């Protein structure tokens, strides 16, 4: 662990990315407290304060209906990061279970699961997400009040993203499982009468933790980008809830009049996705004992 942390510290881009992500996460989580301390309501509109420039009262100015831009960025960051984190964890869990089952049990189950995985990979991801997200949940029996709630909107987008984001983790865990099941500790557990489920959960999956952490970290950036794309298209997080994606949607018609409304959410999406990728690269170096800094 100490050596891994030392390798991560030497990876300057990963270290800077980690600091950036921590700052963004802390500010986003503390958004309600910051709004209370500043005396700002990010949902309150004031048409007399449209397009206010940055000032002591409005740190980044206001949007087209007079809402505080800085506070909405924090609220949008909380939603986007929550979707990315929850989606990455759910897809990582699903992919890990499929991968370890396919790799350890083998045979027809392995062939079926890998063909299914290949089929999901072959699907055009964005059009598939658009089609699924466009389905009206009320036609599936979901009560109208629940279907229009912010919590359901978050839950739906997390599930939609997770159901298509598990394939990389599944193939990665399967490859490691094929190697680990031939190791002495796995054979010893089997010889002592351990059940396959126990061997997979207690002996194999913990030894894939490093790869899972790296894959999950990188996928968070990808999933945040997917959420932003769906929200930009009007199929993700729905107003009045803010996310970086739907903030871009509201700003696209105002690019000439107020380009800053699109600049800040777009810049935060770009920097956050890049930061997760750099952090994942650094974690790969840190958690892989065979890696060396070039």
- On whether the CB atoms of residues 149 and 134 are closer than 8 A, the answer is no
pLDDT of residue 173: 93
Over residues 44-83, the pLDDT tens digits come to 888 888 888 888 888 888 888 889 999 999 999 998 899 8
Q: Which of 81-90, 159-168, 253-262 has the highest mean pLDDT?
A: 81-90
Specify whether domain 2-40+81-287 bears CATH 1.10.3720.10.
yes
**Residue-by-residue DSSP string for 71-108:** HHHHHHHHHHHHHHHHHHHHHHHHHHHHHHHHHHH-HH
For the chain, the average pLDDT equals: 85
Domain boundaries, the chain: 2-40+81-287
pLDDT at 193 over 70: yes
DSSP state of 200: I
Over residues 219-230, the pLDDT tens digits come to 898 888 888 888
* Choice among 88-92, 154-158, 171-175, 237-241 with the minimum mean pLDDT: 237-241
pLDDT of residue 293: 46
Over residues 7-17, the pLDDT tens digits come to 677 778 888 99
Q: Which residues of 152-175 are buried (b: 16+ CB within 10 A; e: fewer)?
A: bbbebbbebbbbbbbbbbbbbbbe
3-state helix, strand, coil in the chain (%, to 5): 75, 0, 25
């Amino acid at each position: 662990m100490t050596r891994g942390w030392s390798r991560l510290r030497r990876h300057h881009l990963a270290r800077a990315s980690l600091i950036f992500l921590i700052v963004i996460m802390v500010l986003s989580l503390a958004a309600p407290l910051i709004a209370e301390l500043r005396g700002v309501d990010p949902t309150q509109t004031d048409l007399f304060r449209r397009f206010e420039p940055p000032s002591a009262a409005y740190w980044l100015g206001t949007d087209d209906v007079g809402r505080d831009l800085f506070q909405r960025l924090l609220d949008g960051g909380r939603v986007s990061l929550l979707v990315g984190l929850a989606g990455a964890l759910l897809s990582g869990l699903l992919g890990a279970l499929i991968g370890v089952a396919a790799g350890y049990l083998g045979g027809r189950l392995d062939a079926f699961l890998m063909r299914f995985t290949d089929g999901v990979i072959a699907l055009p991801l964005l059009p598939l997400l658009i089609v699924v997200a466009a389905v009206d949940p009320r036609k599936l029996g979901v009560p109208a009040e629940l279907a229009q709630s912010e919590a359901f909107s978050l839950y739906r987008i997390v599930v939609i993203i997770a159901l298509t984001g598990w394939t990389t983790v599944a193939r990665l865990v399967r490859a490691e499982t094929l190697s680990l099941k031939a190791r002495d500790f796995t054979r010893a557990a089997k010889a002592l009468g351990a059940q396959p489920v126990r061997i997979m959960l207690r002996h194999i999956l913990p030894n894939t933790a490093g790869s899972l952490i790296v894959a999950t970290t990188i996928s968070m950036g990808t999933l945040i980008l997917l959420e932003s794309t769906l929200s930009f298209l009007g199929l993700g997080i729905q107003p009045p809830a803010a996310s970086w994606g739907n903030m871009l949607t509201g700003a696209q018609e105002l690019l000439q009049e107020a380009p800053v409304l699109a600049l800040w959410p777009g810049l935060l999406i770009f920097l956050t996705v890049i930061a997760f990728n750099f952090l994942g690269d650094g974690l790969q170096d840190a958690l892989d004992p065979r890696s060396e800094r070039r």
